[in-house]
Structure 1
Amino acid sequence: MRTRNQYTVTDKLITKITAWIAGIIAVVLIIWGIITLWDIYHNEYTNDAQVQEYINPVIARAGGFITAVKFEENQAVKKGDTLILIDQREYTIQQSQTEAALINAKAQLLVWKSKVQTLTKTTQVYSSKIEVNKAELVKQKLELNRYKKLVETESATQQKLEAVQANYDIAKAELTSSTEKYQASLSEVNDAKAQEAVVEAEIKRLESLLDRHKLDVTYTAVVASYDGYMGRRTIEVGQMIDPGQVLAYIVNAETDKWIVANYKETQIETMKLGDTATFTADSYPNKIFKGVIISFSPATGSSFSLLPPDNSTGNYVKIVQRIPVRIRVTNPKNESDLLKAGMNVNVTIAKNQ
């Protein structure tokens, strides 16, 4: 009888403890449910979100053999740091050839300028001679008219008139010859000036070509365009590359990071630009990050896909679409550096009631 009473007391104790535990669990569940409902009512949440930052390709602007690779994977680099060196001997040879051609063209220009000056002076000489021949022709014409009158009055012989006529014809021919030589010299001056213009155009072409060759020489040293971190290294010394080839990737450390949170279309009704957001990264679940909404996508994510859905095919199934929301990270740099591109995050944005 005593043993049965002892078991009865024990059973009561166990039942009491179990009831207390069940009650505590029920209270906890109720509190958790209330908090969850409160959170659902006042906040919009999504775990379809990733960290984004600018990851740009490092592209070769010159082709050739790689002579040096001066970075390692994940290395921090500064703007202007040399990343890759390309064999530049071919480019320097082309630059030297163009420099020599430019020197030759400038020398030719000096020759043609000198020739233009010489021909111009020759033209001036012929112009002066024309004036002399004109004066001589006038003189001989006066002399001819005078002797014609003298012959009419029989004061001069016909032989003398013929001699004066011959002198007049000679003066006239000399004037014609001087005029033709003057016109020819003008043509030579114009031809020389045209050739001078051709050489000047060639000089401009060679100067532009030389600038291009100098640029090509600078392109053989591939440098970082901004502060950042290098990505995976896939090239090595001795590798042949072509212009436009992607050599590596660099993560831009000068710009802010942002979150692309893909919210359901039914969740963005109360959101607006400038709203604050909080989020945690799966890598740092106990670390709270902050951000601010800076833009909404102009279309759903599926609309930008390679094959956007066509609901007019007769197989329509309504699916809640996602709207990408861009959120700029506002944490200090030492905290935002913990976030890496592609990390999954869980975003919460308070509703605007």
Structure 2
Amino acid sequence: MKEMIAAANGKRKKIVLISFGSSLLIGAIALLFYLDYKATHITTDDAFVEGNIHTIAPKIPGTVVAVHVRDNQMVKKGDLLVELDEADYAARTTEGEAAVNAERGRLAEQSSRISARQANLKLQEANLRQAEIDLRRAEKLFQEEAISKERYEKTRTAYDVTVAQVQVAREELRQASSLLSAQSASIREKEARLKKAELDFSYTKLRAPTDGLVTKKNAEVGNQVQPGQALMAVVPLDAVWVVANFKETQLEKIRPGQKVEFAVDSYPGKQFTGRVDSIMAGTGAAFSLFPPQNATGNYVKIVQRVPVKIIIDKNSDPDHLLRVGMSVLPTVKTSEK
């Protein structure tokens, strides 16, 4: 009986030892796997989805006469979003076109006058050349006493008159050219005003700058709006990325191109993938509105965080589930070089 009890106790001890040894071995293996995972995977909970937010704002003041979209509606690039009252801007465009056309008419008339002045100057210069020839001949004949003094004086007077006519013709051409230059400057000014009026007219229609989702709509028919006033925003859901703020002590092993897996609270159990794109040139604190000044006072060292941009794989989010501002839990596989 005692032998049977001793054998049973020995067997139990052996089982306990085996169980303890197995548990210890399993724990050691688990610890090795954990340490290996920690050595090749870096994670942070300080990460968010970011993207381009295109604010839709008018460039001119006006009254909203039509809103063609609703909140959270998908739009395509070029889709009409909002219309402003165009009556005043259409009138300015028509007025500008009339002013430009009138100035062009005056410019054409002045160009014709210049052509006439140029022709008259050429005629007077030809008359002057002939008058010079006549004067030289008359001077020679007068010296030879072949003509009377009266005839010579008459030829001399005709020459002087021709010289005066040439001077008058030149002055008329100069004045006409100056007026043409002034009119040319005037038409350029009116054309600039017309272009401005046409631009303002085009600004009465606000269109989507890109494909995306309309959000934060703040425009209703009848609203008086001012330049720069945000009416809505368009967010392209196919162009979002993740910014993860890793501790500076974690950056040693992070390299561009490394694979990243991440999850978001909105879709538990769903994994997204991406790649490390780049590491910011400074810490988040260095680029804050009021960066810390540590030159004076007692200094307490705080581990800084550096933003890391993560590009999301295109096939990772085909349904565009990710939204700007969502919290992300990314894990960088540092084993990849």
Change (3 A) 1:34 1:282: farther
Picking from 224, 228, 239, the partner of 2:212 is: 228
Residues 237 and 323, structure 2, Cα contact 8 Å, conserved in 1: no
Change (3 A) 1:77 1:329: same
Deviation at 1:254, TM superposition (A): 4.6
Which of structures 1 and 2 has the bigger CA Rg?
1
Deviation at 1:206, TM superposition (A): 2.2
- The aligned runs of 1:71-220 (5 Å cut-off) are 71-147=69-145, 164-220=148-204
Q: Which has the larger displacement, 133-142 or 280-289?
A: 133-142
The CA RMSD measured in Å over matched residues stands at 2.5
SS in 1 for 2:249: coil
Deviation at 1:137, TM superposition (A): 2.7
1:21-61 deviation per Cα after TM superposition (whole angstroms, max 9, x unaligned): xx9xx89x948766544432331111111111111211212
Aligned residue type for 2:59: R
Picking from 268, 271, 281, the partner of 1:288 is: 271
In structure 1, the partner of 2:66 is: 68
Picking from 322, 332, 337, the partner of 1:349 is: 332
Q: Which has the larger displacement, 166-175 or 266-275?
A: 166-175
Change (3 A) 1:141 1:351: closer
Aligned residue type for 1:145: Q
Residues 329 and 336, structure 1, Cα contact 8 Å, conserved in 2: no
Deviation at 1:213, TM superposition (A): 1.6
Partner Cα distance (2:81, 2:152) in 1: 88
SS in 1 for 2:72: coil
Change (3 A) 1:260 1:169: same
Residues 45 and 346, structure 1, Cα contact 8 Å, conserved in 2: yes
TM-score, normalised by the number of residues in structure 1: 0.82
TM-score, normalised by the number of residues in structure 2: 0.86
Q: Which has the larger displacement, 123-132 or 87-96?
A: 123-132
- Work out the percentage of aligned pairs sharing the same amino acid: 30
Partner Cα distance (1:338, 1:143) in 2: 109
SS in 2 for 1:201: helix
Aligned residue type for 1:176: D
Residues 75 and 213, structure 2, Cα contact 8 Å, conserved in 1: yes
Residues 54 and 209, structure 2, Cα contact 8 Å, conserved in 1: no
Picking from 245, 251, 254, the partner of 2:235 is: 251
Q: Which has the larger displacement, 67-76 or 111-120?
A: 111-120
Equivalent residue pairs, number: 315
Partner Cα distance (2:144, 2:255) in 1: 112
In structure 2, the partner of 1:3 is: none
1:237 to 2:237 alignment = no
SS in 2 for 1:348: strand
Gaps of 5+ in 1: 1-18, 149-160
Partner Cα distance (1:296, 1:217) in 2: 44
Change (3 A) 1:147 1:51: closer
